[in-house]
Structure 1
Amino acid sequence: MNDIEKDRLTGSLRRGAVKKNVAAIHVSGKLTLLQRKLSNVLLLNAYDTLISQQVHQIDARTLCMMIGYNSNDMETLKQSLRGLAETVAEWDMLDEEGRQEWGVSSLLSYAKLKGGVCEYAYSPALAQKLDDPKIFALINLNIQRRFTSGHALALYENCYRFVRTGSTGWWSLDLFRRLMGVSGSPYYDVYKHLNAKIIKPAVAEVNKTSNIVVTPETKRMGRSVSEIRFKIAENPQLSILDLDDGSGLRNSDIYARMRALGVSDRLALQWMKEHDETYVRKQLDYVAGQGGVKNPVSYLTAALKQDYSGAQVSPRNPTSNKPMSADTAERVRKLGIIQSMAAARSPTQRDADRRLFMSKLDGAALLDFENHGWMSALNFKLIVAFWSDIAPGAFEPDLA
């Protein structure tokens, strides 16, 4: 990637989530799924400099891959940017002194593609609203990528900010139609149609895809439904979606060594949380010194429980002091190189790398990579080949 990513795509893009002002959420209902995802990523890219910097930039190819576009499909990107520039944002909220404030602005004041770079800006008034930290929803970009419906993502955005209170409060159906972007369609004036085509599918996808579970409730005036609200609870089964894959504990060389031995992702993280780093390292070194271990995972489990590294003699092989096998040592070395290269990439580059690699996988291989990232044992050879293409010679032994 070019220097734009190094200079522009650090800072706010290191986060996995973007703060969405309530005003922005309420007015973005008419966006398509791709436009909504694009809007969130552009906002995340600009967030730290919304007020101090009028113009923002991001590498166009990386942006496409991050959102899920074909990286060469510039026409789709142009159409989506055009849609953001043509969409009107409207807010109606109280100012700091409690006075009602109404405003209107296009979501993007302009966007430009030139030399492989996407340049864009917000109007000063909208930038002030987007920068306001008082009222916002935290939109997790790892979660938003899983949505396949714009209505479901709109419902998620509008519900997630109420997760602490447990309910959205009552919305009139007119307001709800606006939030879902269907207020201009007479078809959805009929609640039966709104419920069948918008509410039920959106609720099902939010509950299946995101880290919250929503339950709709309605209030009637006579025989007609007049208001709707959503009860909200955290979804513990999908809370793992909030993890920042590829960072934290997974960046440790200890994690790489355990994965090379065949330890599962979950067990490796569990051990790293339960034990001191130095203690785990000592047990790994001890196990590595016991040549010919048929089940290194079980042996390491016992070592961690009984502190084999403190014993004078190995309870399994008293006379052996062999180093780890050549294959295991080479695997550990390459995993360490892969982690270093991945860590050196910018946040958007890392996301693009993952998307590009995942596009080559399916079935069990794809599932294993989704769960374990670059430490995927099932895809080890493909991963090495992938990074060899990015950085030829990276895995050559250091003879210095």
Structure 2
Amino acid sequence: MNAGSDEAVSSIPTSAPLRELLKATPLIQAKQNLTLQQRKMYNILLYRAYPRLGIDPIHTLRVSQLCKDLEYRSRNIREIKEDFEALKNTRVEANIFGRDGTWKEWEAFEALAYARVTADGVCQYAFPPNLIPRIKNPRLYARLKLSVSNAFGSRHAHSAWEYFVDALDTRRKERLQVVMSLDELKVLLNLSTSAYPQFRDFSKRVLTPMVREINAYSDLAVCVEKIREGRAVQTIGFDVQRKVPLLDPPAVQLADPQALPPEEPALDDTIRKRLAHFGFRARSIERLVSQYPSDYIAAHLDIAEEKVRRGAIHTSVTGFIVKGLDLDLRGAGTTPIEEQLQQQVHAAKATALQAAQQEAIEQAERGGRLRARNSALEARLAALT
């Protein structure tokens, strides 16, 4: 195909709704220093080219369609050109692992072999020939929902989400535990291992916002466990599970529809969706809905949402909700769980204060003995003179 011909432009695919991208595991595991916008854009380019991979050497897409796919309000061709340029110059390195986690091979390639953007708003691009079989017929892959991909506002959350979906898909699991060293996590997030040397800074600026964003916007529910070796956190554990979509309830013929409370079915349906959003499974949802009134559950979900936004839940969100329903957190400025944590903090501070006071007393006593000894020595010297 001639990249500059009208024939190339006429092959632009018509608009179609975004669905799922089957993204090859090597591309997800690859080391690539891309911005969030470039990561999202590469996913769209893969998706739009997929039906014609191996057939058309060059793929064509209008800037307007690309921006629509990416849910961009702006159609700045200069920015699109810069992103294409970055992808063209990006070297992707991938270590290929099998289903059992053993290393198989290493390979390197460019993200794009060719890129072109015209002033009238047409993009053309091509993938390296040796990469096309990996994309078209991947042995291991992840099913990525592009609507979820577009929702992220952090490249760290986007990278971790792709990795977790890939781990679930390659192992064919609905839930699994992922454990990695702190350095491995930084590499996954395309950070230097020397970045954020203090773990509290890494946790505050990267880890906590990343997990909060995945839980808020994706199809996964993630909990974090910080594993210490001595006093330092060296290993991070993630409990990852898919959020179960709710099935439509079976149709039931009612002899007298007015016999039912008019608002309760709609409210129950909303509660079910909200519980599913937090990661509850269908069986747990039905148990909670049957056990507690809908408005009672809604109040506790409001509390949980607020605390998730503030990053105040450091354990399982579902566990917090279940415990809260059992204890009734409504109207409490401080929840029983938080109160227990605060008591522990106050106790630790009191112990530290007591130790500091004791140390001060001992230092004062040592200082007093030293002053007395110096006074005696001065008196003895005065007597000699």
Normalized against structure 1, the TM-score is what? 0.54
The DSSP-based 3-state class of the residue aligned with 2:55 is: coil
Check the 8 A contact 1:219/1:225 in 2, yes or no. Answer: yes
Matched, 1:111 2:115: yes
> Pairwise mapping of residues 45-124 of structure 1 onto structure 2 (< 5 A)?
45-94=48-97, 100-114=104-118, 115-124=120-129
- Equivalent in the alignment of 2:182: 173
Q: CA deviation at 1:231?
A: 0.9
Sequence identity of aligned pairs in percent?
Answer: 27
Unpaired runs of 5+ residues, structure 2, are 1-5, 257-385
- Amino acid in the other structure paired with 1:124: P
- Equivalent in the alignment of 1:342: none
Check the 8 A contact 1:30/1:180 in 2, yes or no. Answer: no
Q: How far, CA to CA, are the matches of 1:64 and 1:45 in structure 2?
A: 13
Q: How far, CA to CA, are the matches of 2:83 and 2:177 in structure 1?
A: 29
Unpaired runs of 5+ residues, structure 1, are 244-268, 276-303, 308-400
> Pairwise mapping of residues 299-378 of structure 1 onto structure 2 (< 5 A)?
none
Q: How far, CA to CA, are the matches of 2:97 and 2:148 in structure 1?
A: 30
Check the 8 A contact 1:17/1:140 in 2, yes or no. Answer: yes
Q: How far, CA to CA, are the matches of 2:18 and 2:187 in structure 1?
A: 30
Kindly tell me the number of residue pairs found equivalent between the two proteins: 244
- Amino acid in the other structure paired with 2:126: A
Q: CA deviation at 1:71?
A: 4.3
Check the 8 A contact 2:175/2:242 in 1, yes or no. Answer: no
Q: Would the alpha carbon gap of residues 4 and 235 (structure 1) be closer, same or farther in structure 2, given more than 3 Å must change?
A: farther
Q: CA deviation at 1:4?
A: 7.7
Q: Would the alpha carbon gap of residues 144 and 94 (structure 1) be closer, same or farther in structure 2, given more than 3 Å must change?
A: closer
Check the 8 A contact 1:218/1:227 in 2, yes or no. Answer: yes
The DSSP-based 3-state class of the residue aligned with 2:175 is: coil
Q: CA deviation at 1:180?
A: 0.9
Q: CA deviation at 1:206?
A: 0.6
Q: How far, CA to CA, are the matches of 1:305 and 1:6 in structure 2?
A: 56
> Pairwise mapping of residues 1-400 of structure 1 onto structure 2 (< 5 A)?
7-9=11-13, 16-27=19-30, 30-94=33-97, 100-114=104-118, 115-163=120-168, 164=173, 166-167=175-176, 169-183=178-192, 186-236=194-244, 239=245, 274=251
Check the 8 A contact 2:12/2:62 in 1, yes or no. Answer: no
Q: How far, CA to CA, are the matches of 2:200 and 2:8 in structure 1?
A: 50
Q: Would the alpha carbon gap of residues 57 and 189 (structure 1) be closer, same or farther in structure 2, given more than 3 Å must change?
A: farther
Q: CA deviation at 1:34?
A: 1.0
Q: How far, CA to CA, are the matches of 1:29 and 1:305 in structure 2?
A: 58
The DSSP-based 3-state class of the residue aligned with 1:182 is: coil
Q: How far, CA to CA, are the matches of 2:7 and 2:69 in structure 1?
A: 18
RMSD of aligned Cα (Å): 3.3
Q: CA deviation at 1:235?
A: 2.5
Normalized against structure 2, the TM-score is what? 0.56
- Amino acid in the other structure paired with 1:227: T
Q: Would the alpha carbon gap of residues 29 and 157 (structure 1) be closer, same or farther in structure 2, given more than 3 Å must change?
A: farther
Q: CA deviation at 1:42?
A: 0.6
Q: How far, CA to CA, are the matches of 2:80 and 2:182 in structure 1?
A: 33
Q: How far, CA to CA, are the matches of 1:95 and 1:215 in structure 2?
A: 26
Check the 8 A contact 2:18/2:147 in 1, yes or no. Answer: no
Q: Would the alpha carbon gap of residues 52 and 147 (structure 1) be closer, same or farther in structure 2, given more than 3 Å must change?
A: same
- Amino acid in the other structure paired with 1:55: I
Which structure has the larger Rg? 2
